Structure 1
Amino acid sequence: MTERLHPHIARGLSEATYRTPYGVTLHLDLEDYTQRTIFYDAFEVEELNFLCRMLSSGDVLLDVGAGADGIFTLVGAKAVGAGGEVHAFEPVPSNFERLTENIALNDLRNVRANRMAAGAKHGSITLALTEDMAQASGRAMSGFYTVGSGLRQASSPLVALDTYLAERLPGRQVRVLKMDIEGYEPAAMAGLASTLRSRRVDVVMTEVNVYNLARQGFGIADVVRPLAGAGYTLHRLGTLGRLRPWSYAGEPTILPRRTGPTGLVRNVYMGLQDLRRNFNLIALRRQPGP
């Protein structure tokens, strides 16, 4: 609905500075789909509320795939306070520039922003936009960059999170790891395997998008396996943010994604079909038994 009303509300406005209900201020590119949804308070509201419930003063948050807006980084930094730390990872130069701008806009001193991607090992990586995702992106920024060739290519350093944590946070417990990297999540988890096995992360919140995973040669099982194997229990966010148990039931059929204008009925239909194909998975560290 907001997409239909936006041209009439914005009236040609392409940039906005907006204070969210979470008490953080963002400079937004309204030509970018994700940043528009933030402007209308419609972006992953349940996930942001869950993040706030999970974090306390002094905690550590890793935001892998912080995006240009950095809303999870900003909200998390406010929640953990001066005694906590947020480590944000955003590989795309234009996104990273806006991320650091928003961090400074909120005068956050507890955030370490890293212009790098997370993967199985150290190195470098090329990211780009697919043609359909470029249409949903701003002129300079986008949260839809994925690994591989395509439009508006960008190169980035690649880091294994096991190594990063050993160097930057030796011995520290990570309260929440949020990961949204457009289908590259299994590779990033491979570089975090030691940390997951040693139970140094309490909560993992990761995107599961079968379309993006398939583009990288992965499936849902490749997200589930490292988490379940490390002893995490799996959940999805239900009504009013309640956690409900979730178990892997095989790979859903990957439906063809049509491009071009869409109507309300088709959007609702596609959204219902995508409930098994595009969601955020919550993994909780299992408490040791007596």
Structure 2
Amino acid sequence: MLKQFMEFPLPISRKLKLSVLKRMLPPESTEFIVDATYCGAHMTLDLLDGPQRAIYQHDGAEKFMLHFLRDYLRTLPGPQTFLDIGANAGNHTFFMADHADRVFAFEPQHSLSSRLKDIVNAHPHLGNVTVCDFALGTEDKTDYIYDVGKCSGARSIIRNHADDAVAEEISIRHGDTVVRELGIESIAAVKIDVEGYEPLVLTGLAETLDKHRPVIVFEHSEANRDSYDGFEGMKKLFPDNYDFFQFDRRGAYRYHNARRGFYTVFPFRYDQPVNIIATGGVANLIACPREAAIPQTNFTPWPFETRKR
């Protein structure tokens, strides 16, 4: 009955449905699976897993970022490729399949990469998606990814973890080598969400980024800040003549704007604490080649909204 309630298209918000689910589920529950459709693809979603719950709640998580990437690709001529590094539940992968000519999704967690492959194989309109079941880094090797939180998006190769944390052995490949082997061309945009492994991903893709000069959206947190050795250290991970922007959390992270997919971007200030510029202490930054023109905003406030700088 509860599953039917969550799946049935009632004239109430999914946020309210999730509130009901939270109150009715036994506290020891570890998963709650529903059938859903996202970007024309039928799939199951675990509503107790953060990334999958966000897809259910907003019909796409981080819609401000999705719409920014969509709008950027629309400004470019010719065929374009999107790299989703840390694809997880496929939020960005499936959305961008409608807007990029080719999408390459990199996800080393075996259960998640298998799920992505099954969804892609079951839907002909996702034929431009290639799922790679390994991480990208600076060398070919095996390593372990550890639980550092309560959802599939909180697993990290390098961040501190409890001694008894669940560990999964994964494969890591040298980024530039993989791009050459797969014959990936015309890379327009890259999304990186790898829980602190961003510096190694960027270092391993140095040749690729220098050649294609894509827009790069990546996570920034206080933990990441410590690994960069200052703003100059962060900039060295990118090709020359890149500028950095951030999403305005007031225009992007409010509930109704998350649902509508509105965004506003403005220049990034490295000296600001991350918890000032982003909800939850994790910001999404944009690294943009100086010769490219990125969309600045699609934000249209509702009449009751007042926004202050």
TM-score (norm 1): 0.76
Aligned residue in 2 for 1:233:
243
Is residue 87 of structure 2 the alignment partner of residue 66 of structure 1?
yes
Match of 1:34 among 46, 51, 60: 51
Q: CA deviation at 1:209?
A: 2.2
By how many angstroms is 1:88 displaced? 0.8
CA contact (8 A) 1:178 1:205 kept: yes
For the residues of structure 1 that align with 2:291 and 2:220, how far apart are their CA atoms? 24
Worse overlay, 100-109 or 157-166: 100-109
Which position in structure 2 is the counterpart of 1:210?
222
The match for 1:153 among 153, 167, 178 is 167
Counterpart of 1:185 in structure 2: which amino acid?
A: E
When residues 219 and 115 of structure 1 are mapped into structure 2, their CA distance, relative to the original with a 3 A threshold, is farther
Letter in 1 for 2:81: V
Pairing of 1:1-150 with structure 2 (within 5 A) = 6=18, 8-9=20-21, 11-12=24-25, 14-20=32-38, 22-41=39-58, 43-56=61-74, 58-67=79-88, 69-80=89-100, 84-107=101-124, 108-130=126-148, 133=149, 136-137=150-151, 142-148=152-158, 150=162
Q: Aligned equivalents of 1:2 and 1:183: distance in 2?
A: 31
In structure 2, distance between residues paired with 1:116 and 1:220: 29
1:260 paired residue number: none
- Residue 201 of structure 1 and its aligned partner are, at CA, apart by 3.1
Displacement, 1:192?
A: 1.0
Task: Please name the residue that 2:28 is paired with.
Answer: none
Match of 1:259 in 2: none
Mapping of 1:190-201 within 5 angstroms? Answer: 190-198=203-211, 200-201=212-213
1:184 alignment partner in structure 2: 197
CA drift of 1:181 comes to: 0.2
Larger radius of gyration: 2
Q: CA deviation at 1:223?
A: 4.0
Residue 5 of structure 2 aligns with which residue? none
Identity of aligned residues (%): 25
Report Cα offsets for 1:12-53 as digits up to 9, x if no partner. 581112224x44444211121221111100721101111221
Shift of the alpha carbon at 1:55? 2.8
- How far apart in 2 are the matches of 1:30 and 1:213? 31
The residue aligned with 1:258 is none
Aligned letter for 1:154? E
Distance in 1, matches of 2:278 and 2:265, equals 19
Counterpart of 1:102 in 2: which secondary structure?
helix
Separation in structure 2 between the aligned mates of residue 166 and residue 160 of structure 1, nearest angstrom? 10
Q: CA deviation at 1:91?
A: 0.4
Q: How many residues align?
A: 252
Give, as a single letter, the amino acid of the residue that structure 1 aligns with 2:119: N
CA shift, 1:210, in A, is 2.1
1:163 to 177, 188, 198: 177
Aligned CA distance change for structure 1 residues 278 and 97 (closer, same or farther; 3 Å): same
Q: Distance in 2 between matches of 1:98 and 1:212?
A: 29
Residue number in structure 2 paired with 1:278: 282
Shift of 1:226: 1.6
Cα distance change on mapping 1:153 and 1:46 into 2, 3 Å: same
Q: Give the 5 Å matches for 1:246-261.
A: 246-249=268-271, 252=273
Structure 1: which 5+ runs fail to align? 254-270
- AA aligned opposite 2:194: I
1:244 partnered with 2:261:
no
Secondary structure at the counterpart of residue 219 of structure 2: strand
Please give the TM-score of this superposition, normalised by the length of structure 2: 0.72
- Give the gaps of 5 or more residues in structure 2: 1-12, 26-30, 252-261, 293-309
Q: CA deviation at 1:164?
A: 1.2
